[in-house]
């Protein structure tokens, strides 16, 4: 077993030990980042593991000493083993998260205490298992980055391990050349290459397609990405909007793409003063799909005429823990790979029970304003009672509703008056309350006077009910942003939104949005544009790596065939592409040319002058070490070279074929000659005699020589 780093080993051996430790830590860190990038780890596990890796890096670099006695480690391990059932029963409340916590705790202790070959072998196994788990959990493009880092550190680990083993041998054989093929090194190289190829093939094309689908059933819904909820508690949307993870990609098939679409999810009809929800056990209508996968969501007698404008789009919905399907406009047909879909009494469309996860579906919809001249379905007495029911309210709320809508003559006009009043007189903010209030709605309307979308939607729905207009709150997403790189509309969790639907006579359920625009959302930063490239890369990864199947093969073959059939016009395509690239480059330079040029200048200055500055800084640092008496034999060469450069500026150049002593004795008589002889003598004492006290002496003589 090689000795611990620094324990009676030479400087080269210590450097190899340090390189080996850093490579092993890099393997563990890349595997950990791959798992953390999936979003399935809780915050405490992420932070504690990151802190352990950082501490070990500082310890390996020699910047920090953190001696942990075996007794402390054993006590901590025993305490955590005792904590494990508490974690399982009361904290995590599930077997898998509690076990993950236990495994990462053991990994943290091994990262901080590893010192023997057996410890480092254990860490290699931990790193490999982390990467295997990430290949199951992580379906994002960042897995490719962490996999590349893991492979780099793995090659570095095994290479430095071989060098480390040789450096610590007691008997070393020095050879002037190789008599034959070095079979050991060749075998290691072949094994590494085959291992990389095998692992890459397995991780890229096997595990993400099979184990990920099976493992999904073991993961609690609490670990799915938040972004949509089937109920609203005042303040919840503000926390959701602070995140920017992708929820849906929309591909519009029809040429008509109306702006500012809202993607409707669930309508909520019950309000208890703080929470909007639907009563459990509501009867859902099962709508069967035909052989083509199409489900008709509107009866023939209530469908719009053929001349009505329709929107046709495809939704690629991510797995974020909800079984709700989202639609822009009023859905007429949906095409989905499911035997049926479920429709709630309020019009929300869901997948069958037990089916969740990523789903792709197409929809035919039409806008609310384009619906045909057909009388709306009347509200039955039970529905009307539900959509007018109210909890005990602050008396100022109904008084405000009557004052705002006093001049309006119709129910629709009264609803529009309340909508415009909230948009004009109140401000938008994502900041949450610092302390809990007994009546959040009254606090919003009469004290704070600013909030986020659920406050505005709740306030309008309640005010409408106080003036006898049935209303409900709808949760879903705003229109998102178009990504010109992928050609898809991008909907993120930051687009989560709430609005109001009010039942207007002769119109039916009508949409109102009392929330004013977010002033921060209008600002487009460089990062927001760069995030579109990341999203396009993520889409490519999902479609052509994780979900690559026969359909994608046929699509690729069709594109190749089409490009072959258009061989006669390929030059036109190239010209069009060149023009488009040219326009894109010009637009980019107009917006970002100045900062880009400044950045390139900075990079050029760093490349040109960086090595010289680094060399000068290193030289200055070593001189300060010499002044403090911390001298190495190599410092003699640095000081002697500095003397030679000084003499060259005075016209005295040392030929390469004479020794330092001959050069010093051959100098012409001057006040510099004795100083050069003394400095040369000190140089030889330090360089060849190992006398460290000669270092400060050389520095004093050099300073005296430069002043002469």
Q: From 614, 620, 648, 655, select the one nearest 635 (Cα to Cα).
A: 620
Centre a 10 Å sphere on the Cβ of residue 626 and count the other Cβ atoms it contains: 22
Is the pLDDT at 283 greater than 90? The verdict is no
Contact 139, 2 (CB under 8 A): no
Cα angle 608, 613, 619 (rounded to 5 degrees) comes to 145
Question: Reduced to 3 states, what is the DSSP secondary structure of residue 364?
Answer: strand
Q: Residue 268's pLDDT band (boundaries 50, 70, 90)?
A: very high
Question: Reduced to 3 states, what is the DSSP secondary structure of residue 98?
Answer: helix
What is the tens place of the pLDDT at every residue in 518-563? 766 544 555 566 677 777 676 666 665 555 554 544 444 554 455 4
Token pair for residue 171? 């008997």
Of the candidate ranges 74-83, 395-404, 610-619, the one whose mean pLDDT is the lowest: 610-619
Q: Return phi, psi of residue 426, to 5°.
A: -130, 155
Residues 6+ apart with CB under 8 A from 672: 647, 650, 705, 708
Q: Is the dihedral of CA 631, 636, 639, 643 positive or negative?
A: positive
What is the tens place of the pLDDT at every residue in 46-78? 888 888 888 888 888 777 777 777 777 778 877
Q: Looking at residue 226, what DSSP letter applies?
A: P
Taking the model in full, what pTM does it have? 0.54
State the SS3 of 289-334. Answer: CCCCCEEECCCHHHCCCCCCCCEEEEEEECCCCCCEECEECEEEEE
Mean pLDDT throughout 375-392? 89
Token pair for residue 499? 């609005």
What is the pLDDT, as a whole number, of residue 356? Answer: 61
Q: Taking all residues of the chain, what is their mean pLDDT, rounded to a whole number? A: 76
Residues 6+ apart with CB under 8 A from 130: 28, 31, 32, 34, 35
Give the integer Cα–Cα distance in Å for 79 and 405. Answer: 64
Give the integer Cα–Cα distance in Å for 245 and 243. Answer: 6
Contact 344, 266 (CB under 8 A): yes
**Structural element, H or E, at residue 246:** strand 246-252
Centre a 10 Å sphere on the Cβ of residue 428 and count the other Cβ atoms it contains: 18
Give the integer Cα–Cα distance in Å for 200 and 203. Answer: 5
Mean pLDDT throughout 588-609? 71
Give the integer Cα–Cα distance in Å for 312 and 69. Answer: 67
Q: Looking at residue 244, what DSSP letter applies?
A: -
Is the pLDDT at 589 greater than 70? The verdict is no
> Hey, which residues does 592 pair with through a beta bridge?
none
Q: Which residue has the tokens 């890796």?
A: 53
Q: At what angle are helices 95-113 and 11-36 packed, to 10 degrees?
A: 170
Is the pLDDT at 348 greater than 70? The verdict is yes
Rg value, the chain, Cα: 36
Share of the chain above pLDDT 90, in %: 16
Beta-strand pair 427-428/450-451: parallel
Give the integer Cα–Cα distance in Å for 184 and 163. Answer: 12
Token pair for residue 48? 């504690």
């Amino acid at each position: 077993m090689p000795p611990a780093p620094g324990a009676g080993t030479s400087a080269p051996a210590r450097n190899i030990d340090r390189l080996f430790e850093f490579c092993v830590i890099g393997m563990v860190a890349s595997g950990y980042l791959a798992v953390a990038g999936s979003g399935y780890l809780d915050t405490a596990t992420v932070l504690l593991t990151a802190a352990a890796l950082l501490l070990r890096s500082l310890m390996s670099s020699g910047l920090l000493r953190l001696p942990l006695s075996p007794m402390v480690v054993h006590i901590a391990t025993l305490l955590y083993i005792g904590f494990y059932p508490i974690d399982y029963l009361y904290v995590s409340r599930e077997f898998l998260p509690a076990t993950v916590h236990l495994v990462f705790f053991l990994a943290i202790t091994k990262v901080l205490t590893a010192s023997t070959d057996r410890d480092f072998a254990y860490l290699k196994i931990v790193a490999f298992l982390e990467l295997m788990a990430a290949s199951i959990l992580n379906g994002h493009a960042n897995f490719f980055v962490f996999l590349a880092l893991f492979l780099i550190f793995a090659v570095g680990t095994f290479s430095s391990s071989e060098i480390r083993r040789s450096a610590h041998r007691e008997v070393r054989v020095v050879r002037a050349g190789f008599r034959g093929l070095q079979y050991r090194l060749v075998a290691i190289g072949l094994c590494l290459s085959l291992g990389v190829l095998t692992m890459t093939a397995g991780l890229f094309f096997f595990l993400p397609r099979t184990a990920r689908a099976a493992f999904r059933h073991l993961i609690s819904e609490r670990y799915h990405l938040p972004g949509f909820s089937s109920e609203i508690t005042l303040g919840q949307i503000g926390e959701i909007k602070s995140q920017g993870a992708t929820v849906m990609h929309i591909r519009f098939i029809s040429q008509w793409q109306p702006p500012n679409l809202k993607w409707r999810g669930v309508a909520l009809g019950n309000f208890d003063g703080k929470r909007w929800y639907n009563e459990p056990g509501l009867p859902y209508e099962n709508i069967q799909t035909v052989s083509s996968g199409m489900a008709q969501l509107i009866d023939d007698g209530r469908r719009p005429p053929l001349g009505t404008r329709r929107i046709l789009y495809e939704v690629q919905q991510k797995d974020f823990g909800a079984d709700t399907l989202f639609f822009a406009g009023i859905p007429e047909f949906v095409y989905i790979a499911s035997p049926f879909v479920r429709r709630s009494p309020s019009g929300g469309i869901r997948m069958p029970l037990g089916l969740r996860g990523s789903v792709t579906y197409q929809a035919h919809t039409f806008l609310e304003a384009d619906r045909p001249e057909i009388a709306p379905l009347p509200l039955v007495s039970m529905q009307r009672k539900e959509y007018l029911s109210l909890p005990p309210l602050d008396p100022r709320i109904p008084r405000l509703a009557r004052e705002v809508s006093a001049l309006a003559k119709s129910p629709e006009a009264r609803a529009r008056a309340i909508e415009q009043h909230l948009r004009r007189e109140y401000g938008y903010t994502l900041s949450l309350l610092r302390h809990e209030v007994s009546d959040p709605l009254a606090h919003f309307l009469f004290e704070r006077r600013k909030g986020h979308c659920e406050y505005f939607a709740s306030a309008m729905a309640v005010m409408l009910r106080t003036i006898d207009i049935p209303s409900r709150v709808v949760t879903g997403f705003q229109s998102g942003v178009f990504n010109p790189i992928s050609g898809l509309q991008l909907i993120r969790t930051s687009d989560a939104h709430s609005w109001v639907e009010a039942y207007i006579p002769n119109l039916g359920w009508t949409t109102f949005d009392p929330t004013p625009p977010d002033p921060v959302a209008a600002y487009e930063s460089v990062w927001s544009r760069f995030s579109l490239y990341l999203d396009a890369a993520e889409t490519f990864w999902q479609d052509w790596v994780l979900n690559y199947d026969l359909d994608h093969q046929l699509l690729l073959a069709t594109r190749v065939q089409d490009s072959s059939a258009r061989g006669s016009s390929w030059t036109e395509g190239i010209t069009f592409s060149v023009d488009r690239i040219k326009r894109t480059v010009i637009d980019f330079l107009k917006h970002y040319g100045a900062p880009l040029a400044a950045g390139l200048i900075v990079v050029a200055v760093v490349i040109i002058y960086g090595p010289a500055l680094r060399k000068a800084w290193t030289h200055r640092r070593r001189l300060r070490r010499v002044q403090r008496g911390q001298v190495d034999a190599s410092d003699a060469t640095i000081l002697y070279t500095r003397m030679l450069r000084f003499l060259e500026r005075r016209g005295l150049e040392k030929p390469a074929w004479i020794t330092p002593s001959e050069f010093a004795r051959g100098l012409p008589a001057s006040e510099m000659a004795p100083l050069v002889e003394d400095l040369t003598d000190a140089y030889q004492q330090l360089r060849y005699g190992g006398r460290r006290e000669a270092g400060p002496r050389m520095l004093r003589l050099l300073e005296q020589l430069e002043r002469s």
